[in-house]
Chains A and B, each alone.
Chain A
Amino acid sequence: MMTDPGLLALVALLLPALSFLVLAVAAPLRRLGRPAAWFSILCAGGSLAAAVQAWAAGGDDVSRLLWAWLPAGGGTLASVGVLADADSTLMLTLVALVAFLVQLYSVGYLSDEPPPGLGRYYTYQSLFAFSMMALVLAPNFVQLFIAWELVGLCSYLLIGFWYQKPEAARAATKAFWITKAGDVGLLIGIVLLWRQSGTFDFFELRLLAEGGALPLAGLSLITFCIYLGAVGKSAQFPLHVWLPDAMEGPTPVSALIHAATMVTAGVYLLTRTEWLFALTPEVLAVVAWIGAFTALLAAVLACVQDDIKRVLAYSTVSQLGYMMTAIGAGLAAAGFFHLLTHGLFKALLFLGAGAVIHAVHSNDLSHMGGLARRMPHTAIVFLVGTLSLAGIPFFGGFLSKEEILGAVWAGGFVGPFLLLMVVALLTAFYMFRVVFLAFFGEPATAHITATVGAAHAGHPHDPPASMRVPLWILAAMSLGVGISSTMAGQMLQFGPAEREGPAWLMPSAVGVALAGILLAWLTYQRRTIDASSLAAAFGPIRRAALARFWIDDIFEGGYRVGLLGFSRAVGWVDRYLVDGVLNALSAWTLTAGDDVRGMQTGRAQDYVYGVAVGLLVLLLWVQWVLA
């Protein structure tokens, strides 16, 4: 029996790779659609089993498997392999789990997709699962970067899956470019760190860092550059703009890539290299402040969205800000814990939203309403997800949120702490706004009749079993994690005791969340508070939020005017000046040739004159110069 967690993790990693290779090469199988889907799901299931085994077998052991990848100077410059330890196998399990459930769910969700499209979808999904696992298990910065870029590629491919929609094609490239801008920082950071330390290997780097053998000069720049990569991937301000647009992809993709796994890669990276960032507290402070600011900004934006997926997308940005703040406050474990719980309940929320979208054929909240009676399963699991996100005790996100708030307070970051408390209020508010608008209140039948036709009019219903099962599994796990962690609160202490929050923290955080729920209830359910007067009270902020604080416009303007304009100027210079000089030279040559040609008249007399003049000059020259 294989019990080495490294080998098990390797199996988990290679199964999706196998699936990808088979689907990529065997075009006939891919074009069949459903068989390709089931093959991919089978591999994902096997991968999940291996990942769970690896996690269970691991404990606190660290298992490293390395293979030389890139030679240099007779030795090895970089290796690839597997680094299986407690954190990475746990994350591996999350990735494998959500990937498996999402693939399962997609069979139902994409049932209308033509077979070749479905095959393409599962090819990308398999590549994503492989790349994400390679990222999680990366033993060094090189493999991390490789996988980091590959998950970015999968994100690009899957956002643009319905590329015939102009918005989808646009969102895909936008996502790629914005995250790539962050990756420029990451790449620079890796190169700089390599020169500073002579290695890419996490294990060796950690020994150097903890042994104090890593030169500190310039290290802040390095960690900041690495952080830039995380800013792009984990959608921190100001590079968060790609994530809401990424919702153009199919909803299961949003659940997997843009909620549970890929976007958390930045958080995971900082967790993995916690010992490195610990050497540069000033960068950590930046991380904390940007994280808290991002959390607030995104929460405000989430309050004004009418698209259910966009609410969830901004909520993801906001929660990523939460995790980042915890890391910045010096307790990466709390951020990592929230990453895991968030992965479960946010995937749940997205898949739940997917079920709703599948039923009403619209993303718009105003086209929903009263769905709780028609889709009870979906409503219950969505409520579980919402309560988890709001941080209510006995639900998934409760303890992880408490940990973060405690860590931030204990770390002395009062400003970010206050921001996060506001965010907690807003989170509960905007999520329950969605719940009340979509699942309660009056059904919006007009839209459904208009778009779906009389046959289905007014009959949105729960999704088929293949979609329901993943929902219930995720709901059960969110609840399970919530209940067990709430009950055993003390057992799950991550940080040292002095990093714990004060006693008033937990009641006040829960109180804030309940206040948010109450406000949403009064506004959108009881209608005691008029939604429009509430909006009017926050007039300027609301207008700014509806314009996304103009951040997207700034990027757009920078791209269109700054970059494209500048490139056109360079192109003009190249064509008309740099090349122009060359053309001028050749034109002069041609003209000179034409002029000289005039001398060759073809008349014998002219040549005789020429000979005579030449002879005369020669004679004079001999006479005067040589004499």
Chain B
Amino acid sequence: MNGLPLLSVMTWAPFVSALVIMFGARHRPRLVRWTSVVGTSISLVASVWVYWTYDRVAAGFQFREEIALVPSLGISYLLAIDGMSALMALLTSIIIFAGVFASWTVKERSQEFYALLLVLVTGVYGVFVSLDLFILFLFYEIAVLPMYLLIGIWGSSGQIRPQGIFGWAMGRTGVGTKEYAAMKLTLYLLFGSAFILVGILALYVANGSQSFSFLAFEAMQFDSTLQTWVFLAFYVGFGILAGIWPLHTWSPDGHASAPTAVSMLHAGVLMKLGAYGVVRLGMGLLPEAAVDWAWLVGTIACINIVYGALSAMAQTDLKYVIAYSSVSHMGIVLLGAATLTTNGLNGSVFQMFAHGIMTGLFFALVGLVYEKAHSREIFKMGGFGSMMPGIATAFTIGGLSSLGLPATAGFVAEFLTFLGAWTSDHPWWLFPGVIGAFLTSIYVLRVAKQIFWGPKTDDPHFQHLPDAQGPEWAALGILVFVLVLFGVVPSLAVGPVDTFTGPFLERLVGR
């Protein structure tokens, strides 16, 4: 556009700051943090700039950058952004920026922690902005792998009692420990990425091994049988990351064991990579199969919504509640996409954003509560509202967004999805969606009442707890502000997304 490769700046700034941290800030924790702030600020500014200057009239892919890497195989460094990915990049920037502040108090090996976190973020940006599927896959792996270390080293373990007919196996695998969670998450996601790789290669070969460019694939009309199978591969591969039932069980364990910023980033952004992959690659490249498989995607999404909400209700560990709520909300994302309607898709993409922000906020809050009260046991805590009014208020706002209260981003996303569901080929999808929202109101307010807005407990540990302080406010403030802003002025997000939805659906269903 104007000479400055904005997308590359956005993508690589965290990586560069990770290098600076590793080589230039040894044993200087404050410098580590400020370098991270600077790096993520650059990305934030770049993504806001891209988002703001994105030409909604022209629509399509903009801010293109292209460098041929391996011409013989058709691999090139091709970046561009459209209405959907611009919103996703913005989400990533907001979450990581808040996440840097939320991890301010990490003590152990903070240098490596921040470096890994920033490398991971580069991977996330890369997936959202790459149009070359080979590069996209590389970024995807960069985004997934550091998780193993981040959870395995800085995570926290819990205890789960083995029960049931598979109880013998749980003891064997070490359920509940952070090592287990890290291993489970990594193996599960790598299992998924094997499907993705197969899918990409299948399309590459079918396209005559010319190019890995998304645009080249998009121009192709693939054979229906190939579409059917590749779609399934993408759906399973990316779907695992999006938490589709019954392949979601990595998510509660992983998110519960992960340190605060990692949970924020993982639930807030990485799960969106999965949904983004299903929409962009699965549905975008394989329109016929997308229409044929919509019933499956939507039905599984409905199961996700209700099952996730019920599972969340059953939890006694605060972090597990939030983790299961992600499973439920990701159902809304995929349900919206499966409706194959304008409103449904707008709702789906908006829900990716809304859920990213709200779950980022939730995990930040859980981290803060844990730091102050050293507990995640919901039914042992109580009456924190008077001691930490700021945290309590932020939790309530996040919860309200989660249950789809108007004037928060969650409402608009759910409402659009519901409209889409009722006008899709499977109108009954509306009902699980609405019921899920109702169940959410039950488990969220139950938790809010127990921990914050209820009578105080007698437990001496919980008598004098401080509210959030210093940099912690930054994380909460940003996320709450965004959640409310996009709820009150939804056109901020839906506007650009709408430019993506129209042509996208045109390809799929010709309307």
A residues with a Cβ closer than 8 A to B are 68-74, 77, 142, 145-147, 149-150, 153, 156, 160, 163-166, 169-170, 172-173, 176-177, 180-181, 184, 187-188, 191-192, 194-195, 563-564, 566-572, 574-584, 586-588, 590-591
Contacts and interface: CB of A to CB of B under 8 A. Distances in A.
Contacts of B160: 575
Interface stretch (B110-118, B139-147, B213-221, B399-407): B399-407
Given A563-B442, A577-B164, A166 B313 contact: no
B418 A191 contact: yes
Nearest to B497: A71
B502 interface: yes
Contact of A153 (B313, B343, B400): B400
Contacts of B187: 586
30 contacts: A72-B346, A72-B494, A77-B416, A149-B406, A163-B454, A164-B454, A164-B455, A169-B449, A172-B453, A176-B441, A187-B418, A188-B430, A563-B313, A564-B313, A567-B311, A570-B311, A570-B314, A572-B163, A572-B164, A576-B163, A576-B164, A577-B164, A577-B166, A578-B246, A579-B249, A583-B169, A583-B173, A583-B175, A587-B169, A588-B169
B435 interface: yes
B491 A586 contact: no
Contacts of B343: 72, 77
A576 B167 CA distance: 7
Given A149-B405, A572-B314, 12 more contacts: A70-B490, A71-B491, A74-B498, A77-B419, A156-B445, A188-B430, A188-B431, A191-B430, A567-B314, A575-B160, A575-B163, A583-B170
Interface of B: 160, 163-170, 172-173, 175, 184, 187, 246, 249, 253, 307, 310-311, 313-315, 342-343, 346, 383, 385-386, 400, 403, 405-407, 411-412, 415-416, 418-419, 422-423, 430-431, 434-435, 437-438, 441-443, 445-446, 449, 453-456, 490-491, 494-495, 498, 501-502
B491 A166 contact: no
B32 to A, nearest CB: 31
A74 B500 CA distance: 11
B511 to A, nearest CB: 9
A572 B160 CA distance: 12
Nearest to B342: A73
Given A69-B490, A176-B441, A191-B430, A576 B311 contact: no
Closest 6 CB pairs of A and B: A571-B314, A580-B166, A576-B164, A587-B169, A146-B406, A567-B313
B502 A74 contact: yes
Nearest to A200: B419
Given A146-B407, A166-B454, A567-B314, A586 B430 contact: no
B167 to A, nearest CB: 7
B407 A150 contact: yes
Of the listed residues A147, A176, A567, the one surrounded by the most CB atoms of chain B closer than 10 A to its CB is: A567
B166 A583 contact: yes
Contacts of A571: 310-311, 313-315
A570 B437 CA distance: 17
B164 to A, nearest CB: 3
Contacts of B416: 70, 72, 77
Contacts of B342: 72-73
Nearest to B188: A582
A31 to B, nearest CB: 10
Nearest to B187: A586
Nearest to B438: A184
A195 B422 contact: yes
A146 B412 CA distance: 10
A195 B441 contact: no
Given A68-B491, A74-B502, A163-B454, A176 B445 contact: yes
Contacts of B418: 187, 191
A583 B172 CA distance: 8
B310 A566 contact: yes
Given A173-B446, A583-B173, A71 B495 contact: yes
Given A567-B313, A571-B310, A571-B315, A71 B494 contact: yes
B324 to A, nearest CB: 8
Contacts of B166: 576-577, 580-581, 583-584
A176 to B, nearest CB: 6
A246 to B, nearest CB: 15
B249 A578 contact: yes
Nearest to B484: A24
Contact of A574 (B184, B311, B386, B501): B311
B178 to A, nearest CB: 16
A69 B495 CA distance: 10
Contact of B173 (A572, A577, A587): A587
Nearest to B501: A73
Given A74-B502, A579-B249, A164 B386 contact: yes
B449 A173 contact: yes
A69 B491 contact: yes
A568 B314 contact: yes
Contacts of B495: 71
A156 B494 CA distance: 30
B307 A574 contact: yes
A71 B489 CA distance: 11
A588 B343 CA distance: 46
Given A177-B442, A567-B311, A580-B166, A153 B453 contact: no
A160 B498 CA distance: 40
Nearest to A131: B407
A584 B169 contact: yes
A150 B445 contact: no
Given A70-B490, A146-B407, A195-B423, A580 B313 contact: no
B422 A184 contact: no
Given A70-B490, A176-B441, A191-B422, A590 B172 contact: yes
Contacts of A72: 342-343, 346, 416, 494, 498
B247 to A, nearest CB: 9
B437 to A, nearest CB: 7
Contacts of B434: 184, 187-188
B438 A580 contact: no
A70 B491 contact: yes
B453 A169 contact: yes
Contact of B441 (A68, A172, A177, A581): A177
Contacts of B403: 180
A70 B487 CA distance: 10
Contacts of A160: 449, 453
Nearest to B448: A173
B470 to A, nearest CB: 16
Contacts of B307: 570, 574
A586 B445 CA distance: 37
B376 to A, nearest CB: 16
Contacts of A166: 454-455
B113 to A, nearest CB: 28
A72 B170 CA distance: 48
Nearest to A576: B164
Nearest to B163: A576
Contacts of B167: 576, 580
Contacts of B405: 149-150, 153
B500 to A, nearest CB: 12
A582 B185 CA distance: 12
Nearest to A149: B406
B351 to A, nearest CB: 14
B353 to A, nearest CB: 15
Given A149-B405, A571-B311, A578-B249, A587 B411 contact: no
A568 B385 CA distance: 27
A169 B385 CA distance: 12
Contact of B445 (A68, A173, A577, A581): A173
A68 B498 CA distance: 15
Contact of B249 (A71, A195, A574): A574
A584 B169 CA distance: 5
Given A71-B495, A164-B456, A567 B310 contact: yes
